[in-house]
Amino acid sequence: MAVLMVMCISPSQVKLKGFQFSEVPNVKRLFEEYENTIGNETITLEIAFDGWNATIEGVQEIELSLSSPTTIPLLFENSSILKFEVEEIEIRGAKANITALYDGRYGLLLLDIEPIENTQRIKISYTSKYQPLFDVNMRDIIDWHIKSTKNSFYLPPEAYMVLSKVKGNLAIKVSSHPSNYTIAGLLKLPSDKYKPLLPEGDTFHTDGGRFYILLGKWNTHERSIKIDGRSVRVIALTDEGEWVVDELAKILKVYSSYLIPYPYDEFVYIRIKGHRNEIEGFGLYGGAAGTQFENLIPHEVAHNWFGIYAELGLLDESLATYTSSLYKPTLEKADYWEGICLSSRDRTPIVDINAVTRKHQTNLYQRGGFIFRSLQFVVGNETFFQGLRELLEICHVKDCRETEKTLNLIKEIYENLTEQDLDWFFREWFYRADYPNFTVSSLKLLQKDSNYILKLNISEENGFVMPLEVRIVTSVENITKRIFVNGSSVLEIETKGRPTMVILDPDDWVPNVNGSSYRINWEKLTFERIEREEREIDGVKIVVN
């Protein structure tokens, strides 16, 4: 059993060690009941890691300016993967008494401080032995996303510091760490957002929010770019190669040109391993984290506009997916995207989705994103992006997290810009969950001198009202016409050569029931090309995109 030793070196300096713990239930709750005290903290860490075990030698210094006796609670955790041992506490500028409590998992040191001088300093020396790869505790949202591996692991606050109720600045100095690892950090902000932090020298400067230290076998690639006359530092911590930082710079510039200029001074990408999936990423305030660049990061970068700068709740996922399509858009990608939409078996209208779940994911991300692509087609490029910019500025200051309210806001923005009623569009796309089915119901081809007259009857069988592009391909020319289909529509067109093909929605603006060459194979869980039924009327091939 430990014995509490109190040494008074001078009247205003006390050393406490060898704490004797009393067992009490629910120590963590007891800790939570204490009030915050204003003060600043500095932590100095020596971190060692052998691939499984992290050993952290720490000194935590708390500076207070108390004028009356106050109890400072200090909490630490012990479990099968974390052995946290407070070795000594030194107090200057005050008299001090300690009560040590333990409940089998958490230890609580209650420091009764009686100030003698204007400034009081508490210095806590400790050792923590932590096994990051075995940690499955979900202490915070971020633990749901990051998994520690030998190549990149993280230290939650519980692993490297004593939790106090002292609120103020917190500086974390990593005076030594394994030299083949790079350090970075994630600072928790209000409303479950995280900001990547890089050390200045060897020190992270935080405002005292929960701070996760990350160590990874990354290379650091950095570029400085100009966006709208402002300098933005782009940093990639990754083992994927230097090209990543160049692609990030491109993405930021592309999104900035369509939406509003990237609103922050820095963008930091951190490569991490996902916790639940092989492929996982999440957007950060001024950055992104993810398991791999190609499929994830364009989406996560977009969250700096939709999600961080403006918060639109679930619609952030639709709009981030849409925005990611602005980076390297190709028709093949649109077809692939459409195929993912059509593969979804979820038939919940977006307005009725309450959470991002596996069931609703495709519906919310891909289908939701594609709807915005269709809206772009309906209102035109210039109006569409102007509307998105207005939406971002409104939702930057206003709470837009309620889907239905925000859909009404979006509708209002575009109705004002186009001076048109757009209720039909929002009703059929957000309040329903199926897709239009456009077909050529009849085709007549007549020869007139050296020209041809093509008469098409185009119908839609799922009750959608939509504009539609129709492309007529002849040996001489391609003619593209825009029609409005409400049930059915007739298109008559004179062409120079004999028409060989009619393409409905050639640029894939609308997700159509028969519009994609791809489907998910639910048995094999693969994404594959499918054979599409080919139609031909009077020697004219009919294609639906």
Binding residues (CB under 5 A) for Zn ion: these are 317, 320
In the complex, least distance from residue 186 CB atom to Zn ion, rounded to whole angstroms: 17
3-state secondary structure 493-511: EEECCCEEEEEECCCCCCC
Alpha-carbon distance 24 to 10, whole Å? 33
Nearer to Zn ion, 113 or 320 (CB): 320
Please provide residue 454's backbone torsions phi and psi, each rounded to the nearest 5 degrees: -110, 125
SS3 state of residue 450: coil
Nearer to Zn ion, 317 or 338 (CB): 317
Alpha-carbon distance 92 to 124, whole Å? 12
Task: Give the pair of three-digit tokens for residue 232.
Answer: 């933005």
Measured from the Cβ of residue 219, the count of other Cβ atoms closer than 10 Å reads 16
Alpha-carbon distance 342 to 142, whole Å? 32
In the complex, least distance from residue 301 CB atom to Zn ion, rounded to whole angstroms: 10
Instruction: Select from 543, 439, 541 the least CA-distant residue to 499.
Output: 541
Q: Determine the number of helices (DSSP H) and then strands (DSSP E) in the chain.
A: 11, 35
Instruction: Select from 209, 218, 208 the least CA-distant residue to 268.
Output: 218
Nearer to Zn ion, 317 or 460 (CB): 317
Instruction: For the chain, give the longest Cα–Cα distance.
Output: 113
Nearer to Zn ion, 72 or 320 (CB): 320
Nearer to Zn ion, 64 or 320 (CB): 320
Alpha-carbon distance 224 to 260, whole Å? 19
Nearer to Zn ion, 187 or 301 (CB): 301
CA atoms within 13 A on the CB side of 287: 25
Chain length of the chain = 545
Nearer to Zn ion, 320 or 502 (CB): 320
Nearer to Zn ion, 115 or 286 (CB): 286
Nearer to Zn ion, 298 or 436 (CB): 298
DSSP state at residue 312? -
Task: Give the pair of three-digit tokens for residue 149.
Answer: 């591996």
Contact 204, 171 (CB under 8 A): yes
Nearer to Zn ion, 44 or 318 (CB): 318
E strand or H helix that includes residue 424? helix 423-430
Q: Which residues contact 45 (CB under 8 A, 6 or more apart)?
A: 56, 57, 58, 160, 172, 173, 174, 175, 177, 213
DSSP state at residue 133? G
In the complex, least distance from residue 364 CB atom to Zn ion, rounded to whole angstroms: 9
DSSP state at residue 523? T
E strand or H helix that includes residue 246? helix 243-258
E strand or H helix that includes residue 39? strand 37-49
In the complex, least distance from residue 67 CB atom to Zn ion, rounded to whole angstroms: 48
Nearer to Zn ion, 391 or 491 (CB): 391
Nearer to Zn ion, 280 or 317 (CB): 317
- Helices within 310-380 (DSSP H only): 315-324, 331-343, 361-362, 368-379
In the complex, least distance from residue 302 CB atom to Zn ion, rounded to whole angstroms: 8
